[in-house]
Amino acid sequence: MALTRSRKTTPARTRGRAAKLARERRTTPQPKPPIVALRDATVVYPGGHVALERVSLEIERGEFAFVVGPTGCGKSTLIKMLIREIQPASGKVLIAGRDINELPASKVPLLRRRIGTIFQDFKLLPNRTVYDNVAYALQVIGASRAEIRRKTPEIIRLVGLQSKIHNYPDQLSGGEQQRVSIARAFVNHPPLLLADEPTGNLDPETSIGIMQLLYRINRTGTTVLVVTHDREMVDKMRRRVIALEDGRLIRDERAGGYHDESTREFAARVRHELGVPGDQPE
Protein backbone atom coordinates (compact mmCIF):
# COMPACT_ATOMS: atom_id res chain seq x y z
CA MET A 1 0.00 0.00 0.00
CA ALA A 2 2.54 2.52 1.14
CA LEU A 3 4.86 1.54 -1.65
CA THR A 4 2.32 2.17 -4.42
CA ARG A 5 1.30 5.49 -2.97
CA SER A 6 4.88 6.72 -2.76
CA ARG A 7 5.47 5.61 -6.33
CA LYS A 8 2.65 7.86 -7.47
CA THR A 9 3.90 10.92 -5.61
CA THR A 10 7.69 10.64 -5.89
CA PRO A 11 9.17 12.17 -9.08
CA ALA A 12 11.08 9.67 -11.14
CA ARG A 13 14.34 11.59 -10.96
CA THR A 14 14.48 11.64 -7.17
CA ARG A 15 13.60 7.98 -7.05
CA GLY A 16 16.45 7.11 -9.36
CA ARG A 17 18.99 9.04 -7.30
CA ALA A 18 17.85 7.54 -4.03
CA ALA A 19 18.10 4.07 -5.46
CA LYS A 20 21.58 4.78 -6.74
CA LEU A 21 22.67 6.04 -3.32
CA ALA A 22 21.28 2.96 -1.65
CA ARG A 23 23.10 0.74 -4.12
CA GLU A 24 26.38 2.51 -3.47
CA ARG A 25 25.93 2.18 0.27
CA ARG A 26 25.39 -1.55 -0.16
CA THR A 27 28.29 -2.23 -2.47
CA THR A 28 30.94 -0.03 -0.81
CA PRO A 29 30.23 0.02 2.93
CA GLN A 30 31.64 3.17 4.55
CA PRO A 31 34.49 1.85 6.77
CA LYS A 32 34.11 3.13 10.31
CA PRO A 33 37.21 5.04 11.38
CA PRO A 34 39.32 3.33 14.08
CA ILE A 35 38.20 4.35 17.56
CA VAL A 36 41.72 5.53 18.40
CA ALA A 37 44.27 6.78 15.91
CA LEU A 38 47.53 8.54 16.68
CA ARG A 39 49.47 10.22 13.93
CA ASP A 40 53.05 11.14 14.82
CA ALA A 41 51.93 12.34 18.23
CA THR A 42 54.71 14.02 20.18
CA VAL A 43 54.29 15.23 23.76
CA VAL A 44 56.76 17.59 25.34
CA TYR A 45 56.35 18.47 29.00
CA PRO A 46 57.13 21.95 30.24
CA GLY A 47 60.85 21.85 30.93
CA GLY A 48 61.51 20.15 27.63
CA HIS A 49 61.15 16.46 28.50
CA VAL A 50 59.89 14.57 25.45
CA ALA A 51 57.47 12.03 26.94
CA LEU A 52 56.16 10.69 23.61
CA GLU A 53 57.94 10.92 20.29
CA ARG A 54 56.17 10.53 16.93
CA VAL A 55 53.86 7.75 18.09
CA SER A 56 51.49 6.43 15.43
CA LEU A 57 48.99 3.65 15.98
CA GLU A 58 45.41 2.60 15.37
CA ILE A 59 43.04 0.69 17.59
CA GLU A 60 39.92 -0.83 16.08
CA ARG A 61 36.51 -0.96 17.68
CA GLY A 62 36.09 -3.93 20.00
CA GLU A 63 39.81 -4.55 20.42
CA PHE A 64 41.48 -5.46 23.70
CA ALA A 65 44.99 -4.04 23.56
CA PHE A 66 47.86 -3.58 25.96
CA VAL A 67 50.40 -0.80 26.15
CA VAL A 68 53.56 -1.95 27.92
CA GLY A 69 56.90 -0.49 28.80
CA PRO A 70 59.10 0.34 31.76
CA THR A 71 58.16 3.06 34.22
CA GLY A 72 58.60 6.52 32.79
CA CYS A 73 58.30 5.44 29.15
CA GLY A 74 55.23 7.58 28.59
CA LYS A 75 52.31 5.19 29.14
CA SER A 76 50.32 7.48 31.42
CA THR A 77 51.13 10.36 29.11
CA LEU A 78 49.50 8.39 26.29
CA ILE A 79 46.31 7.94 28.33
CA LYS A 80 46.25 11.61 29.33
CA MET A 81 46.64 12.59 25.71
CA LEU A 82 43.64 10.46 24.71
CA ILE A 83 41.30 12.33 27.08
CA ARG A 84 42.92 15.68 26.26
CA GLU A 85 44.24 16.16 29.75
CA ILE A 86 47.40 17.12 27.89
CA GLN A 87 47.80 18.10 24.26
CA PRO A 88 50.53 16.95 21.89
CA ALA A 89 53.11 19.46 20.73
CA SER A 90 52.72 18.04 17.24
CA GLY A 91 50.84 15.24 15.52
CA LYS A 92 47.21 14.25 15.77
CA VAL A 93 44.97 12.37 18.18
CA LEU A 94 41.83 11.05 16.51
CA ILE A 95 39.00 9.50 18.52
CA ALA A 96 36.37 7.88 16.30
CA GLY A 97 37.87 9.81 13.40
CA ARG A 98 37.78 13.24 15.04
CA ASP A 99 40.81 15.28 15.97
CA ILE A 100 40.16 15.89 19.66
CA ASN A 101 42.62 18.75 19.85
CA GLU A 102 40.46 20.73 17.48
CA LEU A 103 37.43 20.41 19.73
CA PRO A 104 36.41 23.64 21.43
CA ALA A 105 37.08 23.55 25.18
CA SER A 106 33.34 23.37 25.86
CA LYS A 107 33.10 20.02 24.02
CA VAL A 108 35.91 18.34 25.97
CA PRO A 109 33.55 17.14 28.75
CA LEU A 110 31.43 15.42 26.08
CA LEU A 111 34.54 13.60 24.82
CA ARG A 112 35.45 12.48 28.33
CA ARG A 113 31.96 11.11 28.92
CA ARG A 114 32.39 8.83 25.88
CA ILE A 115 35.68 7.49 27.26
CA GLY A 116 35.79 5.62 30.55
CA THR A 117 39.12 6.13 32.26
CA ILE A 118 40.60 4.11 35.09
CA PHE A 119 43.35 6.31 36.46
CA GLN A 120 46.62 5.03 37.81
CA ASP A 121 45.93 6.92 41.06
CA PHE A 122 42.17 6.04 40.93
CA LYS A 123 41.13 9.71 41.21
CA LEU A 124 38.16 8.95 43.45
CA LEU A 125 36.34 11.83 45.13
CA PRO A 126 37.55 11.48 48.74
CA ASN A 127 34.42 12.82 50.41
CA ARG A 128 31.98 10.59 48.62
CA THR A 129 31.01 7.02 49.30
CA VAL A 130 31.53 4.24 46.77
CA TYR A 131 27.93 4.73 45.69
CA ASP A 132 28.25 8.52 45.26
CA ASN A 133 31.54 8.22 43.42
CA VAL A 134 30.01 5.91 40.85
CA ALA A 135 26.75 7.91 40.72
CA TYR A 136 28.72 11.08 39.99
CA ALA A 137 29.59 9.81 36.50
CA LEU A 138 25.86 9.44 35.86
CA GLN A 139 24.96 12.80 37.41
CA VAL A 140 27.49 14.45 35.13
CA ILE A 141 25.69 13.23 32.02
CA GLY A 142 22.32 14.37 33.41
CA ALA A 143 20.90 10.90 34.08
CA SER A 144 17.53 10.78 35.82
CA ARG A 145 17.35 9.85 39.46
CA ALA A 146 15.57 6.62 38.63
CA GLU A 147 18.34 5.70 36.19
CA ILE A 148 21.02 6.49 38.76
CA ARG A 149 19.25 4.39 41.40
CA ARG A 150 19.02 1.47 39.02
CA LYS A 151 22.44 1.54 37.35
CA THR A 152 24.71 2.44 40.26
CA PRO A 153 24.09 -0.60 42.50
CA GLU A 154 24.10 -2.81 39.40
CA ILE A 155 27.63 -1.82 38.36
CA ILE A 156 28.88 -1.90 41.95
CA ARG A 157 27.64 -5.48 42.17
CA LEU A 158 29.42 -6.26 38.90
CA VAL A 159 32.77 -5.20 40.40
CA GLY A 160 31.95 -7.09 43.59
CA LEU A 161 31.76 -4.19 46.02
CA GLN A 162 28.13 -4.40 47.13
CA SER A 163 29.19 -4.91 50.75
CA LYS A 164 31.30 -1.71 50.69
CA ILE A 165 28.76 0.46 48.91
CA HIS A 166 28.57 3.07 51.69
CA ASN A 167 32.28 3.13 52.49
CA TYR A 168 34.48 6.11 51.78
CA PRO A 169 37.61 5.66 49.60
CA ASP A 170 39.95 5.83 52.61
CA GLN A 171 38.10 2.86 54.10
CA LEU A 172 38.95 0.70 51.08
CA SER A 173 41.99 -1.32 50.08
CA GLY A 174 43.91 -0.41 46.93
CA GLY A 175 42.25 -3.18 44.94
CA GLU A 176 38.83 -2.08 46.11
CA GLN A 177 39.49 1.53 45.14
CA GLN A 178 40.68 0.23 41.80
CA ARG A 179 37.36 -1.50 41.33
CA VAL A 180 35.38 1.62 42.27
CA SER A 181 37.40 3.41 39.60
CA ILE A 182 36.47 0.69 37.10
CA ALA A 183 32.80 0.89 38.08
CA ARG A 184 32.77 4.65 37.60
CA ALA A 185 34.58 4.39 34.28
CA PHE A 186 32.14 1.81 32.98
CA VAL A 187 28.79 2.86 34.46
CA ASN A 188 27.93 4.90 31.34
CA HIS A 189 28.90 2.02 29.07
CA PRO A 190 31.38 4.12 27.09
CA PRO A 191 32.54 2.74 23.74
CA LEU A 192 36.16 3.13 24.84
CA LEU A 193 37.71 2.16 28.16
CA LEU A 194 41.22 3.27 29.11
CA ALA A 195 42.89 1.62 32.08
CA ASP A 196 46.16 2.98 33.47
CA GLU A 197 47.94 0.24 35.43
CA PRO A 198 44.71 -1.27 36.72
CA THR A 199 46.68 -4.06 38.38
CA GLY A 200 49.60 -2.02 39.62
CA ASN A 201 50.63 -2.97 43.17
CA LEU A 202 47.95 -5.64 43.43
CA ASP A 203 48.51 -9.26 44.34
CA PRO A 204 48.31 -11.73 41.42
CA GLU A 205 44.88 -13.12 42.36
CA THR A 206 43.31 -9.65 42.58
CA SER A 207 45.06 -8.71 39.34
CA ILE A 208 43.50 -11.64 37.58
CA GLY A 209 40.12 -10.66 38.99
CA ILE A 210 40.46 -7.21 37.56
CA MET A 211 41.74 -8.42 34.20
CA GLN A 212 38.79 -10.80 34.13
CA LEU A 213 36.47 -7.88 34.73
CA LEU A 214 38.05 -5.85 31.94
CA TYR A 215 37.83 -8.85 29.65
CA ARG A 216 34.14 -9.22 30.47
CA ILE A 217 33.62 -5.54 29.68
CA ASN A 218 35.46 -6.00 26.39
CA ARG A 219 33.12 -8.83 25.47
CA THR A 220 30.17 -6.44 25.68
CA GLY A 221 31.69 -4.63 22.69
CA THR A 222 33.70 -1.98 24.49
CA THR A 223 37.18 -1.26 23.18
CA VAL A 224 39.63 -1.69 26.05
CA LEU A 225 43.12 -0.27 26.18
CA VAL A 226 45.13 -1.40 29.20
CA VAL A 227 48.39 0.21 30.21
CA THR A 228 50.74 -1.84 32.37
CA HIS A 229 54.36 -2.49 33.13
CA ASP A 230 53.58 -6.08 34.04
CA ARG A 231 55.12 -7.80 31.00
CA GLU A 232 54.55 -11.28 32.38
CA MET A 233 50.80 -10.82 32.74
CA VAL A 234 50.57 -9.35 29.25
CA ASP A 235 52.53 -12.17 27.67
CA LYS A 236 50.15 -14.71 29.16
CA MET A 237 47.05 -12.80 28.03
CA ARG A 238 47.95 -13.16 24.33
CA ARG A 239 46.37 -9.95 23.15
CA ARG A 240 47.69 -7.17 21.01
CA VAL A 241 50.72 -5.60 22.70
CA ILE A 242 52.01 -2.13 21.97
CA ALA A 243 55.43 -1.59 23.50
CA LEU A 244 56.85 1.81 24.35
CA GLU A 245 60.37 2.70 25.30
CA ASP A 246 61.56 6.18 26.10
CA GLY A 247 58.48 7.64 24.50
CA ARG A 248 58.90 5.72 21.24
CA LEU A 249 56.75 2.91 19.92
CA ILE A 250 59.12 -0.01 19.53
CA ARG A 251 56.78 -2.96 18.95
CA ASP A 252 53.16 -3.57 18.00
CA GLU A 253 52.19 -7.24 17.95
CA ARG A 254 48.81 -8.74 17.31
CA ALA A 255 48.58 -12.16 18.88
CA GLY A 256 45.68 -14.32 17.79
CA GLY A 257 44.13 -17.56 18.78
CA TYR A 258 42.22 -16.84 21.97
CA HIS A 259 39.73 -14.21 20.88
CA ASP A 260 36.66 -16.31 21.39
CA GLU A 261 37.26 -17.79 24.81
CA SER A 262 34.71 -17.07 27.53
CA THR A 263 35.56 -14.93 30.51
CA ARG A 264 35.85 -18.00 32.67
CA GLU A 265 38.11 -19.81 30.23
CA PHE A 266 40.19 -16.68 29.94
CA ALA A 267 40.64 -16.34 33.69
CA ALA A 268 41.42 -20.02 34.13
CA ARG A 269 44.00 -20.00 31.40
CA VAL A 270 45.74 -16.89 32.69
CA ARG A 271 45.70 -18.25 36.23
CA HIS A 272 47.14 -21.50 35.04
CA GLU A 273 49.86 -19.85 32.99
CA LEU A 274 50.83 -17.53 35.81
CA GLY A 275 50.84 -20.42 38.23
CA VAL A 276 48.21 -18.89 40.49
CA PRO A 277 45.93 -21.39 42.21
CA GLY A 278 42.20 -20.72 41.86
CA ASP A 279 38.94 -22.25 40.72
CA GLN A 280 39.59 -24.28 37.60
CA PRO A 281 37.05 -24.50 34.81
CA GLU A 282 34.62 -27.39 35.22
Ligand X SMILES: Nc1ncnc2c1ncn2[C@@H]1O[C@H](COP(=O)(O)OP(=O)(O)O)[C@@H](O)[C@H]1O
User: Three-class SS of residue 259?
Assistant: coil
**From the list other proteins, ligand X, Mg ion, none, partner contacted by residue 47 (C-beta under 5 to 8 A by kind):** ligand X
Of positions 41, 51, 68, 76, contacts Mg ion by CB under 5 A: 76
Q: How many residues bind ligand X (CB under 6 A)?
A: 12
Scanning the chain, the segments in alpha helix (DSSP H) are 2-9, 12-27, 75-82, 108-114, 130-140, 145-158, 174-186, 204-219, 231-237, 263-274
When asked if residue 117 is in the footprint of other proteins (CB under 8 A), the reply is yes
User: Based on CB atoms, which residue is closest to Mg ion, 38 or 68?
Assistant: 68
Which class for 269: exposed (0-12), middle (13-18), buried (19 or more C-beta within 10 A)?
middle
CB of 88 to ligand X, least distance (A): 13
When asked if residue 228 is in the footprint of ligand X (CB under 6 A), the reply is no
Q: How many residues bind other proteins (CB under 8 A)?
A: 24
User: Three-class SS of residue 22?
Assistant: helix
The whole-angstrom distance between residue 230's C-alpha and the CA centroid of its chain comes to 18
**From the list Mg ion, ligand X, other proteins, none, partner contacted by residue 45 (C-beta under 5 to 8 A by kind):** ligand X
Nearest to 100 by CA among 36, 190, 196, 44: 36
Of positions 4, 30, 71, 106, contacts other proteins by CB under 8 A: 106
Query: 223 with 63: CB under 8 angstroms?
Result: yes
Query: 188 with 113: CB under 8 angstroms?
Result: yes
Instruction: Sketch the per residue contact string, 129 through 158, with other proteins: x for CB under 8 A, - otherwise.
Output: -------xx-xxxx-xx-------------
Which spans of this chain sit near other proteins (rule: CB under 8 A)? 83, 85, 106, 109-113, 117, 119, 123-127, 136-137, 139-142, 144-145, 184
